[in-house]
């Protein structure tokens, strides 16, 4: 009787040891799987951080290039302004006694509010179709703002702003090429684009493209930061 009792105890202990061994094996496998997942997550975080550093270096390079372009634009603008001033003064000396005739658009403007610069530009597309184009574009005559002031009833500041909306368009800047023929408000030939004017337009166009590239890079970097934050949050929660 006592032998059977000892055998039962021995069998119970053997089963207990077997269960503990199985539990230990399963626990070890679980820890190994968790360690592999953690290792993979850490590796992914390291890869994303390396990619982020490359993006930051590229962004710094773009900012440096943009800074150089802006410096070039500033220098070209000063030179172009000086040239325009000289041409304007020469023109004023030769036309000091000339009184420009009022065009058909010089109606009473006190009774109506002035349009926005862009709205005024839209009027010019209709009023001067040989000078302002929505498709294929031609460079405008140097000093054309003076011709506009002679025909338009609006203040000089508004005329200049509306004109700036047009001459800063990418398609207009592309049209300002060395040797390209300029036109006046009636579409008549009014000189050609000089080399310096073409370089200035090209600098402005490059600056616009650099700005757009920087905006795209900033949006891509923001998406990457969001993705990295989500991944880190997911890793910490697990």
Q: Are the C-beta atoms of 185 and 148 separated by less than 8 Å?
A: yes
Whether the per-residue pLDDT at 192 is higher than 80: the answer is: yes
Here the contacts of 229-232 (C-beta below 8 Å, separation 24 or greater) are 231/41, 231/44, 231/45, 231/48, 232/45
pLDDT tens across 52-99, in order?
A: 788 777 767 767 666 666 665 555 555 554 445 544 444 444 333 333
Place of tokens 């059977």: 4
pLDDT of 104 above 60: no
Q: Is residue 23 part of a domain?
A: no
How many separate domains does the chain show? Answer: 1
Is 60 a member of any domain? no
In the chain, what is the greatest distance between 2 CA atoms, to the nearest angstrom?
A: 140
Report the CATH number at residue 209: 1.10.1710.10
Q: Name the nearest CA neighbour of 125 among 115, 135, 116.
A: 135
Q: Report yes or no on 8 lying in a domain.
A: no
How many Cα atoms occupy the beta-carbon half-sphere of 112 within 13 Å?
Answer: 9
- What's the distance, Cα to Cα, between the start and end of the chain in Å? 55
What is the span of the domain harbouring residue 85?
66-97+116-213
Over range 201-210, report the average pLDDT. Answer: 87
Residue 152 lies in a domain: yes
Whole-model pTM: value is 0.47
Mean pLDDT of the chain: 78
Residue 170 Cα to chain centre, angstroms: 13
Phi-psi region of 191 (alpha: psi -120 to 50; beta: other; left: phi over 0): left
- Long-range contact pairs involving 62-69 (C-beta distance under 8 Å, separation at least 24): 62/210, 62/213, 62/214, 62/217, 63/214, 65/210, 66/207, 66/210, 66/211, 66/214, 69/203, 69/206, 69/207, 69/210
Percentage of residues in the chain with pLDDT exceeding 70? 72
């Amino acid at each position: 009787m006592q032998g059977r009792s000892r055998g039962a105890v021995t069998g119970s202990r053997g089963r207990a040891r077997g269960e503990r061994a199985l539990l230990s094996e399963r626990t070890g496998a679980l820890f190994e799987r968790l360690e592999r997942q953690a290792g993979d997550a850490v590796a992914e975080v390291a890869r994303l951080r390396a990619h982020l550093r490359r993006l930051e270096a590229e962004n710094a390079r773009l900012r440096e290039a943009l800074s150089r372009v802006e410096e070039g634009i500033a220098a070209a603008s000063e030179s172009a302004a000086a040239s325009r001033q000289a041409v304007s003064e020469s023109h004023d000396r030769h036309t000091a006694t000339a009184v420009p005739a009022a065009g058909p658009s010089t109606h009473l403007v006190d009774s109506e509010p002035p349009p926005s610069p862009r709205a005024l530009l839209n009027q010019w597309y209709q009023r001067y179709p040989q000078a302002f184009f929505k498709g294929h574009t031609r460079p405008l005559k140097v000093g054309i703002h003076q011709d506009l002031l002679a025909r338009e009833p609006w203040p000089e500041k508004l005329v200049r702003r509306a004109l700036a909306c047009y001459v800063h368009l990418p398609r207009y800047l592309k049209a300002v090429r060395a040797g390209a023929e300029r036109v006046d408000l009636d579409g008549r030939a009014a000189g050609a684009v000089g080399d310096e004017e073409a370089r200035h337009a090209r600098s402005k166009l490059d600056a616009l493209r650099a700005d757009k590239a920087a905006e795209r890079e900033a949006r891509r970097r923001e998406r990457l930061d969001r993705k990295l934050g989500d991944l880190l949050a997911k890793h910490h929660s697990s």
